[in-house]
Amino acid sequence: MIKIAEYLTPTPSPLWKLAKQAGADWAVGSLPFDDPLNAGDAPWDYFPLLRVKQSFESHGFKLAVIESRPPLNNAKRGLPGRDEEIATVCTLLENMGKLGIPVWCYEWMTDFNWLRTNTSTPARGGSLVTSFDYTLIQDAPQTELGPISEDTLWENLEYFLKRVLPVAEKWNVKLAMHPDDPPLSPIRGIGRIMSSVENFKRLLDLVPSPMNGITMCQGNFTLMTDDLPGVIRQFGEQDKIFFVHFRDVIGTPEKYSEAWHDAGQTDMLACMQAYKDIGFDGVLRPDHVPTVEGDSNENAGYSSYGRLFALGYIHGLSQAVYND
């Protein structure tokens, strides 16, 4: 059975109660960068992570995934200082292993992370979603560090994985690579290598390891394939799906918008059936929900009330599939 989770900040908030009331028993957490008790400890050190885990447990959640990263841009670009950045990841993985936190979600997007050109696109009933239109940024200036090729990113990723995967294997922590968002390359002169099903196959072969796997972010993967349930089965049968972002979009990699979970272009029921067929028993969380009436769009894509619909929809799909 899948484990339904929600992404929660390290500090308790009303969303913690809402998520629990909506049936999420598992937490996907971020590193505690703003913890005033850190003192001389880094967010990836043992005691800050311990406090986060204890806080979740005291509110009835099990912490299953860390979905934030120490600084890694030097490592991605192969710049001086990359070995020091890689050392912080090794520290994080060791402490996650000691604390029994089994999955680290990371990405290989350089200079900037996920990208949208509009964060208030109208959707159903006046709700707001994020959207992307490549024509609006095709002439955007390059980043401060300038272009980087896909070949260089692959070289730097191999260097990174060869150093961190032995630590992940020792401490039994799975590395779940998130796709590039959008799955399009290049953007602003920056290569984006986690942007196709074929490249995820290459990732798994790059440094083979039982700890080298995938975050199946459906919103990105459905822009890479016409058969998302088939891709879920393909990677799932290899036991390489470690974590799932259950979301949907409408459009193409060049132009798309986020969608309500019941109104996108993907057969979400077929996806849930695929997870059952492959025996997936890991963590699945909603992602990039609409902003609905009465909620703030300040953190676009992460409306608290919008998540309640998503959690309810996911529960309904899971009961329809797993109770069949």
Q: Which residues are catalytic?
A: 178, 217, 245, 287-288, 302
DSSP E strands in the chain: the ranges are 3-8, 26-29, 62-66, 103-106, 118-122, 128-133, 174-177, 212-217, 241-246, 249-252, 255-258, 283-286
Cα–Cα nearest to 175, from 101, 260, 81, 73: 101
Residues 6+ apart with CB under 8 A from 52: 10, 29, 32, 35, 63
What Cα–Cα distance (Å) separates residue 5 from each residue in 10, 18, 245?
14, 12, 10
Cα–Cα nearest to 172, from 281, 97, 282: 97
- 98 and 279 Cβ atoms separated by less than 8 Å: no
For residue 9, count other CB atoms closer than 10 A to its CB.
15
**DSSP per-residue codes, 177-205:** EPPPSS--S-BTTB---S-SHHHHHHHHH
Torsion of CA 41, 44, 48, 52, to 10 degrees: 170
